[in-house]
Amino acid sequence: MPRVVVDVVPKPEILDPQGQAIVRALPRLGVRGVRDVRQGKHFELDVDDDVDADTLHRIAGELLANPVIEDWTVRRL
Partner 1 sequence: MSTVRIGVITFPGTLDDIDAARAVRYAGAEPVSLWHADDDLRGVDAVIVPGGFSYGDYLRAGAIAAHQPVLRAVRGAASRGLPVLGICNGFQILCEAGLLPGALVRNAGLHFVCRDQRLRVETSATAWTGRYAAGAEIVVPLKSIEGRYVADSATLAMLEGDGRVVFRYLGVNPNGAVNDIAGIASADGRVVGLMPHPEHAIEVLTGPSSDGLDVFRSAVDAVLGSGGQLLGRRIPSKMW
Q: How far is the CB of 70 from partner 1 (least distance, A)?
A: 9
SS (H, E, C) 5-70: EEEEEECCCCCCHHHHHHHHHHHHHCCCCCCCCCCCEEEEEECCCCCCHHHHHHHHHHHHCCCCCE
Site for partner 1 in 2-61 (CB under 8 A): 10, 13-15, 17-18, 21
Position 63 contacts partner 1 (CB under 8 A): yes
Instruction: Write out the residues near partner 1 by the rule CB under 8 A.
Output: 10, 13-15, 17-18, 21, 63-64, 66, 68-69
